[in-house]
Amino acid sequence: MATAQQTSALTRDLTLRGGPAVPTTTTPRLVYGTAWKKDRTADLVHQALRSGFRGVDTAAQPRHYQERLVGDGVRRAVAEGAVARRADLFLQTKFTSVDGQDRADMPYDPAAPLEAQVHASVASSLENLAVPDGEGGAPYLDSLVLHSPLRTVKDTLTVWRALSTYVPERIRHLGIANAPLGVVELLFEAPDVAVRPSVVQNRFYGDTGYETELRAFCRAQGVVFQTFWTLTGNPRLLRSEVVGGLARAVGVEKEVAYYALVLGLEGTTILDGTTSEEHMEADLEGVEKIGRWAEGEGKEVWLSALGKFKELIKEQE
């Protein structure tokens, strides 16, 4: 069983922004993604935690996620001692609106008011992801992400305010996914929004310009940017000379070198959904290997590679 080692800045947990009443919450740089795992979900989550992952992302969206099975995998890992305690984990789920659901299988009544949909979905998630902490504490979620903006600004804010009522006791932090810069700015600027986003989760690929403007906004606000589609959407970057050169210099796979460069962009984490035990361990250990190398003998080569990578994606400083 592998254990997570975080001796380098590249793999060190990030602290989520929050108000004075919010318990300090950190997120790993690599978070295990659970979409489309179907009946294998529990076993894969269990294996990911045994391999060293300490963050898990899911959603209350049976169409693409099996949230209950995610909880089963987490509880098994805790019961076996692969994870010492609930507080060592970062558990994140999502509220998905009717537009993203299969109406034949969803966690709330689609005809109910939006606030009622939120409350039913959150109750289901808290039950599915409950992990005994040995101290009798109530179940909680480290982060709950609005899966996407709703059709109107009014509805988006209605859902956001309903989610905010759970912060900080049952939900520590809120985030939003699949959102353009304008929507994220709205959640920071609207005067009647009590809880600001701590997390933004978007695709990282060329069609959105690698979200350079949005990520710059997130950096300025202290918001963690979670990338998904990180490998799938970027075959060109994976084949680039800068990625290949870094992989050869450190002795890791290209995918690991690429992940390290994405993590080198300030304030980012990655959803890693590999189904291979070998790759689970290789990703965690390989990124840490690059991180240690980058802080020692490979510092100049690393800084050069990171600079070239930023040029490739037209990164804003």
Instruction: Give the whole-angstrom CA distance, residue 35 versus residue 49.
Output: 16
Examine the domain organization and report whether 129 and 266 are in the same domain.
Answer: no
Q: Is residue 315 part of a domain?
A: no
Of 6-10, 75-79, 125-129, 187-191, the least confident: 6-10
Domain stops at, among 229, 248, 268? 229
Do residues 21 and 109 both lie within one domain?
yes
Strand pairing partners for 15?
Answer: 26
Q: What range does the domain containing 128 cover?
A: 15-229
- Indicate the average pLDDT of the chain: 96
The contacts of residue 56 (CB under 8 Å, 6+ apart) are 31, 32, 34, 45, 48, 49, 70, 74, 89, 90, 91, 92
**Interatomic CA distance for residues 255 and 55, integer angstroms:** 20
Taking phi over 0 as left and psi of -120 to 50 as alpha, with beta for the rest, 316 belongs to beta
Q: Decide if 10 is inside a domain.
A: no
Residue 74 predicted with pLDDT over 60: yes
Answer yes or no: do 264 and 212 share one domain. no
Alpha helix locations (H) across the chain?
41-51, 67-80, 114-128, 153-164, 181-189, 212-221, 235-238, 241-250, 254-263, 277-294, 299-312
Indicate if 98 and 134 belong to the same structural domain.
yes
Checking if the pLDDT of 141 tops 60, the result is: yes
Same domain, 143 and 247: no
pLDDT tens readout for residues 94-118: 999 999 999 999 999 999 999 999 9
Q: Which residue has the higher pLDDT, 136 or 203?
A: 203
Of 229, 262, 287, which residue constitutes the final position of a domain?
A: 229
Helix 254-263 to helix 277-294 angle (10° resolution) is 60
Q: Which of 195, 229, 263 is the last residue of a domain?
A: 229
User: Are 214 and 302 part of one and the same domain?
Assistant: no
Q: Using the predicted structure, report yes or no on whether residue 265 has a pLDDT greater than 70.
A: yes
Q: Are residues 271 and 203 in the same domain?
A: no
216-220 mean pLDDT: 98
State whether 55 and 168 are in the same domain.
yes
Which pLDDT does position 5 carry in this prediction?
Answer: 64
Q: How far is CA 83 from CA 3, 88, 203, 221, 245, in A?
A: 9, 7, 29, 32, 36
Residues 197 and 130 in one domain: yes
Whether residue 316 is contained in a domain is answered as no
Domain of 219, CATH number, reads 3.20.20.100
pLDDT at residue 22 in the model: 86
Q: Is residue 2 part of a domain?
A: no
Res 155 pLDDT > 70: yes
Co-location of 303 and 260 in the same domain: yes
Give how many domains the chain has, as a whole number. 2
Whether 198 maps to a domain, the answer reads: yes
| 248 Cβ contact partners less than 8 Å away, ≥ 6 residues apart | none
Other beta carbons within 10 angstroms of residue 285's beta carbon come to 18
Q: Is residue 266 in a domain?
A: yes
Q: Do residues 105 and 184 both lie within one domain?
A: yes
Q: In the numeric block, which tokens belong to residue 305?
A: 């590679």
User: Within this chain, do residues 27 and 150 fall inside the same structural domain, yes or no?
Assistant: yes
> Rounded to an integer, what distance in angstroms lies between the CA atom of residue 266 and that of residue 18?
18
Whether the full predicted model's pTM is greater than 0.95, yes or no, is yes
Q: How far is CA 233 from CA 67, 204, 305, in A?
A: 25, 7, 21
In this structure, is residue 105 part of a structural domain?
yes
Q: Extract the tokens encoding 227.
A: 């990338």
Confidence of residue 2 (pLDDT cuts 50, 70, 90): low
State mean pLDDT over 255-261.
Answer: 99
Taken in order 302, 305, 311, 315, the sign of the CA dihedral is negative
- Averaged pLDDT, 262-278: 98
Residue 137 banded pLDDT, cuts 50, 70, 90: confident
Strand pairing category for 30-33 and 268-272:
parallel
* Residue 154 included in any domain: yes
